[in-house]
Amino acid sequence: MNRKLLLLLVLLIVGIFSLGANPLTLDDALERARVHNLSLQSNAIDVNAAKRDVDTSWNLFLPSLSLSLSHSGSGPVFEPAMGFSGPASFGDTGLDLALSMQFTLNAAVKEQLESYNLGYQIQKVTYEQAKAEVQRNVTQLFYYLLMEKQNIEVQEANLELARQQWEDVKKKYEEGFASEVELLTSELSYEQMKPPLQQSRNQYESNLLSLKALLGMDLSEPLELEGEIPSLMKNLEVAELKEYLAKSYSITLLDLNLAQIEKQKELNRKQAFTPSLNLQGSYDVSAWSDASSNDFNDSFSYRVTVSLPLDGFIPNSRTQVGLASMEDSLNKLALQRKQALRQMEARVISQVQNLNMLSLQADLAEQSIAVSERLYEAQEIQYNSGYLDFVTLEGARNNLMRAKQGLLGVQYQYISALIDLFYDLNIQMKELNSSYES
């Protein structure tokens, strides 16, 4: 094969694979999860079903219709003094076609229509809560992967530095300026860094698969993330967040459930204590009757009935007991709402305190990195000058790596806790690195 043609083919294959691994930003990930996440698709079915109930609620005013076709005949089985009569004396009483209509109207129809709307509202809030939960999980996992990638880069840089130091010690050993203990120690230090690095890589790949599953992607599809670790907020105040307590999904759903039970109670009360109007109509057509000289007969009948159930007026009847039970449910749910608000306020206070503490820890971690870098540089100079042994230099290098890893860990704890706070209070998750600056 021509070399130019082979090179062109290789470049084409590389280009195809590079297209398949386009970088994915957080906004892209959230949009993809909204469209392709399987749990959200399941919740969307419930929303559409509730909307269908609202859109077709007019069918409450449709009468029930039935059409029946019947054929009948009659005759004696035994005739007097003649024994069994047989089929000859059996007469055809005709073929009947009947169209019947029944319609019942009660004052509770208004509550029934409103209950459909409440059911739709509940399903919409449930869907939004599920969407927010998926967004929370995607955002936390996205930033975790970004930080884990940086952690891998830190370990790779430390591994390369350990390899270079091993080469330097080996050269000094060959020149007689380093002992065999220093040579073996440097080699052991280099080799011991490989398993943790591989474990971090495996952890990264495992969590990348979890992100693909959340996004509804094929697990074999290449995925590369693009983004920055957001900056941390300073000194969050609980007072600024209290206005969001009643807007949380959990409290909103409690309010809607309270309204739904209240509406169901009113519906049951009206059905039990208000009259109902019942309209019935029937049109009948009969033909081919042996008992009639006319081959065709028709008739129309109707009935208008106003009925009032009386069992609800009896003390301790099932109707009254049922209404009292619904009142108990309303009272319990109201207490649950108060308790949920208090618990959420306490949780927010705890979350804010934790976030402020993590912010301080991040500041200390940055200072620790700065000090560790200066200490390592100073000890490296002393080691190269022969005033320091390799074990001390190795400790300084490892301390610097741990300081960098510690900062990444604190940053992820902060971002993860902040995302949880946003989810609890139903605050929209925006790009943190542009919206939450210190």
Q: What is the pLDDT of residue 101?
A: 92
Residue 14 has pLDDT above 70, yes or no: no
Most confident of 86-90, 304-308, 381-385: 304-308
Q: What is the pLDDT of residue 66?
A: 93
One-letter amino acid of 331: N
Q: Edge-to-edge strands of the sheet including 276-287?
A: 64-74, 91-106, 276-287, 296-307
Of 165, 230, 92, 115, give the one whose Cα is nearest residue 395.
Answer: 165
pLDDT band at 339, cuts 50/70/90? very high
pLDDT band at 433, cuts 50/70/90? very low
The string of DSSP letters for 131-147 reads HHHHHHHHHHHHHHHHH
Q: What is the pLDDT of residues 342-364, one digit of tens each?
A: 999 899 999 999 999 998 999 99
- For residue 28, which phi and psi values (nearest 5 degrees)? -65, -40
Per the CB < 8 A criterion, the answer to whether 245 and 341 are in contact is yes
One-letter amino acid of 79: E
Radius of gyration over every alpha carbon of the chain, rounded to an integer in angstroms: 39
Percentage of the chain lying above the pLDDT 90 cut? 44
What distance in Å separates the CA atoms of residue 61 and residue 101, rounded to the nearest whole number? 13
Per the CB < 8 A criterion, the answer to whether 48 and 117 are in contact is no
Cα→Cα distances 148→58, 96, 339, Å:
56, 80, 39
pTM summary value: 0.78
Q: What is the pLDDT of residues 182-241, one digit of tens each?
A: 889 888 988 998 999 999 999 999 999 999 999 988 888 898 999 888 877 667 777 778
